[in-house]
């Protein structure tokens, strides 16, 4: 049996690469846990709105778990909220929590102590990897991402809201880690291997808050799944020429659920119908674009 795991999720490059590594290693991703600020319902540090993260998780076919903290909370509040968010998964038998950290020893030591204290084992699928090689692999694999926050002491405002393509990584100033591991930049990945559909968004003019430049993103569309209630994008309603659901085998409409289903629920229904037809147990299908 595949071991279940919760992934600490920011929607950025490292989280997406960690997710791909988990899939490749055969883990079962029970949920992606994202931390949002209570005042604006956007990702802490990254500033990406909750609805965009929901659309991203749905496209990746993973359940999104949420925790909410005050702006700049003390560690005691953050740790209490994390314990509450992880408790249901511990009750389900989950014993591992995954982080996309690469090499920062002090952060890893803090996570190790905290996660162990909460009764879990931390997992770092990317730790120790060469950051230049990871950045190059990100581009070669076909991922698409945009910077959403940059440290103003290290990068100018022209670096926020940029597409993270080959030119972006090639033009980073000397001393800037290619993966932004020292906090130089944060990102939002909107397409690539493992995504059912590109996550559409609009970006506003960059702004400076404190010591950071931000590019505000907003979602273009969103539909509620008739089965699980997740927010996802229905290509037909969004006006796409060809919806992502066309990549899955056709099944007869379900009169009891006249509205659209998210990628996870639809592929599960397709698998169940196929198993009923063939008389075999239902498989656990992966996204058609998974590596």
Residue partners of 57: CB distance under 8 A and separation at least 6: 9, 32, 34, 63, 64, 230
Predicted pLDDT at 150:
97
Predicted pLDDT at 280:
54
Backbone angles phi, psi at 114, to 5 degrees: -65, -50
* Model confidence band, residue 206 (pLDDT cutoffs 50, 70, 90): confident
Q: Say which range, 13-22, 143-152, 227-236, 279-288, has the weakest mean pLDDT.
A: 279-288
Residue 84 or 261, more confident: 84
Domain spans, the chain: 4-219, 235-278
Q: And the tokens for 143?
A: 């991922």
Q: pTM of the entire structure?
A: 0.89
* pLDDT, averaged across the chain: 90
What number is the average pLDDT over the span 248-262?
A: 75
CATH hierarchy code of domain 4-219? 3.40.50.620
How close are the terminal C-alpha atoms of the chain, in Å?
Answer: 21
Q: How far is CA 222 from CA 41, 52, 143, in A?
A: 16, 9, 22
Predicted pLDDT at 241:
78
* Model confidence band, residue 275 (pLDDT cutoffs 50, 70, 90): low
Nearest by Cα to 20 from 260, 193, 262: 193
**Which 8-state DSSP code applies to residue 241?**
S
């Amino acid at each position: 049996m595949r071991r279940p795991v919760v992934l600490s999720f920011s929607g950025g490059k490292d989280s997406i690469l960690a997710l791909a590594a988990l899939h490749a290693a055969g883990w079962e991703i029970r949920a992606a846990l994202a931390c949002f600020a209570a005042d604006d319902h956007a990702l802490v540090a990254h500033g990406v709105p909750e609805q965009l993260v929901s659309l991203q998780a749905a496209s990746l076919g993973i359940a999104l778990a949420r925790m909410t903290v005050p702006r700049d909370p003390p560690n005691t509040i953050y740790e209490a909220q994390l314990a509450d968010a992880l408790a249901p998964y511990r009750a389900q038998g989950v014993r591992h929590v995954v982080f996309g950290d690469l090499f920062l020893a002090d952060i890893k030591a803090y996570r190790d102590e905290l996660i162990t204290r909460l009764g879990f084992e931390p997992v770092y699928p990317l730790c120790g990897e060469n950051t230049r090689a990871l950045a190059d692999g990100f581009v070669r694999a076909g991922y698409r991402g945009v910077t959403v926050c940059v440290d103003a002491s290290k990068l100018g405002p022209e670096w926020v809201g940029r597409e993270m393509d080959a030119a972006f990584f090639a033009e980073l100033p000397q001393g800037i880690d290619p993966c932004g591991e020292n906090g130089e930049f944060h990102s939002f990945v909107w397409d690539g291997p493992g995504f059912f559909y590109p996550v559409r968004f609009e970006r506003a003019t960059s702004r400076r808050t404190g010591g950071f430049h931000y590019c505000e993103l907003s979602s273009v569309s969103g539909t509620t799944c008739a089965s699980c209630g997740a927010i996802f994008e229905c290509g037909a309603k969004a006006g796409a020429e060809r919806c992502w659901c066309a990549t899955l085998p056709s099944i007869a409409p379900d009169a009891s659920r006249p509205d659209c289903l998210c990628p996870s629920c639809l592929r599960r229904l397709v698998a169940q119908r196929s198993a009923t037809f063939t008389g075999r147990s239902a498989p656990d299908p992966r996204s058609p674009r998974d590596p």
